[in-house]
Amino acid sequence: MTQEELQFIVEEVSLSYFKRPFLHEARFNPRLRTTGGRYLLHTHDIEINPKQYEAFGKEELISIIKHELCHYHLHIQKRGYKHRDKDFKDLLSQVGGARYCKSLSNERISSKRRYTIECTSCSIKYIRKRKLNLSRYACGRCGGKLRMIKMDIDH
């Protein structure tokens, strides 16, 4: 799907479900990882995660567009456009938009590295996602010195 097709779909959904025109830009943003889309407050543009469309198809895309258009139209009207606002929740249920997008489970969001750290005194092992400066920390059990014993990288 191209940017022009996305723009057309957003304008069409806006008119048919909200009875208001969408006058700004809609585009795909491949850098989005943990969200289906986002509404930009300063420019009033909407960005959509293309991976959601590729994984789940047009129905899920339209559901995400409805969600972002709720933010858009409520913000333009100076009403409660945030997720916690009653106006947002009511409008979202009226148009049948998704509260949350489906999870892209094949992509791991967390770090792929694992650090195994061992106490030199009591031999307890700690597994961490983030690297530590071992000279600044001590064992939580006995206060002994820590040393890195293994760094795994999952692929």
43 and 118 inside one domain: no
For the question of residue 68 being annotated catalytic, the response is yes
Give the active site residue among 5, 11, 68, 118: 68
Residue environment code for 31-55, b if the CB has 16+ CB neighbours within 10 A, otherwise e: ebeeebbbbeeeeebbbbbbbbbeb
51 and 86 inside one domain: yes
91 and 118 inside one domain: no
Domain interval for residue 126: 113-153
Q: What letter represents residue 27's amino acid?
A: R
153 pairs with which residues across the strands? 113
Residue 109: predicted pLDDT: 43
85 and 123 inside one domain: no
Mind listing the pLDDT tens digit for each residue in 38-96?
A: 999 999 999 999 999 999 999 999 999 999 999 999 999 999 999 999 999 999 999 99
- Mean pLDDT, rounded, for 129-146: 91
120 and 69 inside one domain: no
